[in-house]
Amino acid sequence: MRGLAGAFAALRELLSEGELRTAVCVGVRSDETPEALEEQADVLQRYAAAGIEVGKIQVSSALQMHLDLWEPPADEARAAAIAQLKAFAEDRYLHQTVVRRDGQDLFYEDLPLALAAEDNIRRGEWRVHFHIPIYVQQWGRLQATQSQILDGLRAASQYTTCQHYEVETYAWGVLPAAMQQPDLAAGITQELRWLDAQWEAAGLLHFSPSSSPPPD
């Protein structure tokens, strides 16, 4: 589902406009993996305005690559960033990818499709739905959307009454080897400690987050 627009489209297939505005029983799961280039505050504010409760917030972080950060001549830097990104192209999960270039968003169903289609262009801002550990901010020439996690938590405290937060990183087994932890428990522990520290530093109402195990 492509972000907020996709969520509303799906709900409108099930509910009339009036029901969508007034039904207090409607709830959604908000996923803070912002590969769709949406601002978390805008998303949650529009849910609140439509009378839609957020029942659970899944905290996760996506991959980001800014090929326009390097001014020409930048072929070497861009090639190095793309080579790093290719290490995340794996077959177990779909990794939906959006490339924003010249004011337009191009959506790809999976990372290998985006890499193939964009091979000769090498411009724009990329976001990839690959759940990397939320404590990672930078990975070589790639970035994470980590900064938007705190933005999302602040927005959630303002626009929702949600008390169910789940750290949703599930791609531990397919991460590049250098990013993996010695064991799954160590990675989950580091994520929850990082999130707890962000909550405390921001002075937000503290809830005990859970962590979802990787699917079989």
Over the stretch 54-113, which tens digit does the pLDDT of each residue have? Answer: 888 889 999 999 998 877 778 888 999 999 999 999 999 999 999 999 889 999 999 999
- Would residue 216 count as lying in a domain? no
Contact 139, 123 (CB under 8 A): no
The count of other CB atoms within 10 Å of the CB of residue 201 is 9
Domain boundary among 123, 143, 163: 143
pTM given for the model: 0.78
- Answer yes or no: do 74 and 139 share one domain: yes
One domain, residues 50 and 71: no
Boundaries of domain holding 96: 63-143
Residues 168 and 149 in one domain: yes
Decide which of 143, 169, 199 is a domain's last residue.
143
Closest CA to 56 of 166, 206, 207: 166
* Local structure of 64: helix, strand or coil: strand
pLDDT band with cut points at 50, 70 and 90 for residue 12: low
Residues 200 and 97 placed together within one structural domain of the fold? no
pLDDT in tens, 53-62: 888 888 999 9
Q: Are residues 77 and 128 in the same domain?
A: yes
DSSP 87-102: TT--SSS---EEEEET
Q: How far is CA 139 from CA 64, 81, 91, 142, 174, in A?
A: 10, 10, 21, 5, 16
pLDDT greater than 50 at residue 214: yes
Tokens of 166: 């789940």
Q: Phi first, then psi: what are they for 206, rounded to 5°? A: -90, 130
At a CB cut-off of 8 Å and minimum separation 6, what does 26 contact? 11, 15, 20, 51, 52, 53
Among 143, 173, 190, the domain boundary falls at 143
The backbone torsions φ and ψ at residue 54, rounded to the nearest 5 degrees and listed phi first, read -100, 115
